[in-house]
């Protein structure tokens, strides 16, 4: 018999998990707090293994339409001098960059299809109306008191995919601030070469990253070391002076940026028997491997059937994957040491 699974949170990670499970014949329930989930108008880098897995889930055509190829990775200094570069396409699989809300839409469509396919299942009605479910479940989920315990009566596994302020996470597990804060935004620009993902490393622990998303849109990430997880007062863009003309133009055009302190969650997603956390609920940072986790968990559950065995295998493999991804992404993204300029102000 398939395990009964409850996914809390229909962001990118919850939906990817739901869709991957449906494809393997496991019909999970999913609840969402917000009637119109906000994914933020930012972008995501999808490494080759994630693109491959999304292709295997039947999303290749939609992804190809929405996600731009990322061919090359460059690290430069603030003045623009090339420090290191590598070809990504083919070497690391077919890497892509996508707007978060486009990927969210693709997954929402896919999950809708999955639900329609499983209409004959006796409990599928709880899936197809996740908004009304979420109203009921929020009484339990929102109080950060970990009252999801009630749901354990009905489900063999609860997967918390409810973001950084996860209510599915035991209250005793507190996010640990990593000493860095970030701003993410998307702007239109033809000054950034298509297909090249670039990080510029600045003085005083700052970095500025550009990731072309296709059609002239560029996803930008500005990171700086900070003692506190709060947004500093004043115009944050002045903190990123000295990154050259192109960065200056992009920063000037930044509209409605998404501010986020970078956190890690001690325990890496362990949440007690019959529970697991993935996505921002477990690792809220640029090298979170969130989508990888959703797809790996679905495949373990499909393979093992038995929840405790699947969770054990998932956690073991995850530890290895996190070490690999953290090392790779830390080198490849914003290698900004904790502390930095904000710490010295």
Ligand X SMILES: Cc1cc2nc3c(=O)[nH]c(=O)nc-3n(C[C@H](O)[C@H](O)[C@H](O)COP(=O)(O)OP(=O)(O)OC[C@H]3O[C@@H](n4cnc5c(N)ncnc54)[C@H](O)[C@@H]3O)c2cc1C
Backbone angles phi and psi of 76, in degrees to 5: -125, 160
| Interface with ligand X, residue 326, by CB under 6 A | no
Q: Residue 125 has which token pair?
A: 């009605």
Give the per-residue contact string, 246-265, with ligand X (x = CB under 6 A; - = no): --------------x-x---
Least distance (Å) between residue 203 CB and ligand X: 20
Q: Are 11 and 279 in contact (CB under 8 A)?
A: yes
Among 158, 290, 311, 332, indicate the residue that binds ligand X (CB under 6 A): 290
Among 94, 115, 151, 162, indicate the residue that binds ligand X (CB under 6 A): 162
| Interface with ligand X, residue 199, by CB under 6 A | no
Q: Is residue 326 packed enough to be buried (19+ CB in 10 Å), middle (13-18) or exposed (0-12)?
A: middle
CA separation (Å) from 311 to 114, 128, 159, 275, 325? 24, 26, 11, 9, 20
Regarding beta strands 43-46 and 196-201, do their DSSP bridges make them parallel or antiparallel, or are they unpaired? Answer: unpaired
Q: Residue 166 has which token pair?
A: 């996860």
Among 13, 224, 271, 295, indicate the residue that binds ligand X (CB under 6 A): 13
Least distance (Å) between residue 70 CB and ligand X: 10
* CB of 210 or CB of 288, closer to ligand X: 288
* CB of 159 or CB of 310, closer to ligand X: 159
* CB of 115 or CB of 208, closer to ligand X: 208
Q: Are 171 and 17 in contact (CB under 8 A)?
A: no
Among 101, 161, 198, 336, indicate the residue that binds ligand X (CB under 6 A): 161
End-to-end CA distance of the chain: 59
| Interface with ligand X, residue 295, by CB under 6 A | no
Name which of 229, 231, 250, 228 is nearest 241 in CA terms: 250
| Interface with ligand X, residue 2, by CB under 6 A | no
* CB of 158 or CB of 301, closer to ligand X: 158
Among the listed ranges 84-92, 133-141, 149-157, 314-322, the one in contact with ligand X (CB under 6 A) is 133-141
- Long-range CB contact pairs, 80-85, < 8 A, 24+: 80/200, 80/244, 83/201
| Interface with ligand X, residue 160, by CB under 6 A | no
Among 71, 213, 291, 342, indicate the residue that binds ligand X (CB under 6 A): 291
| Interface with ligand X, residue 14, by CB under 6 A | yes
Among 22, 101, 146, 182, indicate the residue that binds ligand X (CB under 6 A): 182
CA separation (Å) from 189 to 12, 99, 200, 212, 254? 26, 15, 17, 9, 11
How many angstroms from the chain centroid is the CA of residue 140?
A: 24
| Interface with ligand X, residue 271, by CB under 6 A | no
Least distance (Å) between residue 322 CB and ligand X: 13
Give me the residues that bind ligand X (CB under 6 A), please.
Answer: 8-14, 31-34, 37, 39, 44-45, 134, 138, 141-142, 161-163, 167, 182, 184, 221, 260, 262, 279-281, 285-286, 288, 290-291
């Amino acid at each position: 018999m398939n395990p009964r699974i409850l996914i809390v949170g229909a962001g990118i990670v919850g939906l990817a998990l739901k869709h991957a499970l449906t494809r393997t014949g496991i019909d999970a329930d999913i609840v969402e707090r917000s009637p119109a989930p906000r994914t933020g108008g930012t972008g995501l880098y999808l490494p080759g293994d994630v693109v491959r897995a999304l292709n295997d889930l039947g999303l290749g055509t939609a992804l190809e339409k929405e996600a731009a190829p990322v061919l090359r990775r460059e690290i430069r200094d603030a003045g623009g001098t090339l420090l290191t570069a590598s070809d990504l396409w083919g070497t690391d699989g077919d890497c892509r960059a996508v707007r978060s809300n486009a990927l969210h839409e693709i997954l929402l469509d896919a999950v809708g299809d999955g639900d329609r396919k499983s209409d004959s299942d006796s409990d599928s009605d709880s899936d197809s109306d996740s908004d009304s479910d979420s109203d009921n479940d929020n009484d339990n989920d929102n109080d950060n008191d970990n009252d999801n315990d009630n749901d354990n009566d009905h489900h063999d596994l609860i997967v918390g995919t409810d973001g950084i302020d996860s209510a599915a996470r035991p209250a005793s597990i507190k996010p640990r601030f990593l000493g860095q804060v970030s701003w993410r935004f998307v702007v239109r620009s033809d000054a950034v070469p298509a297909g090249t993902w670039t990080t510029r490393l600045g003085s005083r622990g700052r970095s500025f990253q550009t990731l072309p998303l296709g059609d002239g849109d560029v996803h930008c990430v500005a990171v700086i070391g900070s003692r506190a997880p709060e947004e500093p007062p004043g115009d944050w863009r002045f903190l990123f002076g000295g990154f050259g003309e192109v960065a200056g133009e992009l920063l000037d055009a930044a509209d409605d940026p998404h501010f986020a302190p970078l956190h890690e969650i001690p325990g890496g997603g362990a949440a007690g028997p019959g529970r697991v956390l993935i996505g921002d609920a477990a690792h809220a940072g640029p090298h979170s491997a969130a989508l990888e986790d959703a797809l790996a968990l679905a495949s373990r559950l499909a393979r093992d059937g038995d929840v405790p065995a699947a969770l054990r295998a998932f956690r073991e493999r995850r530890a290895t994957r996190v070490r690999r991804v953290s090392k790779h992404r830390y080198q490849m993204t914003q290698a900004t040491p904790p502390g930095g300029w904000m710490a010295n102000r």
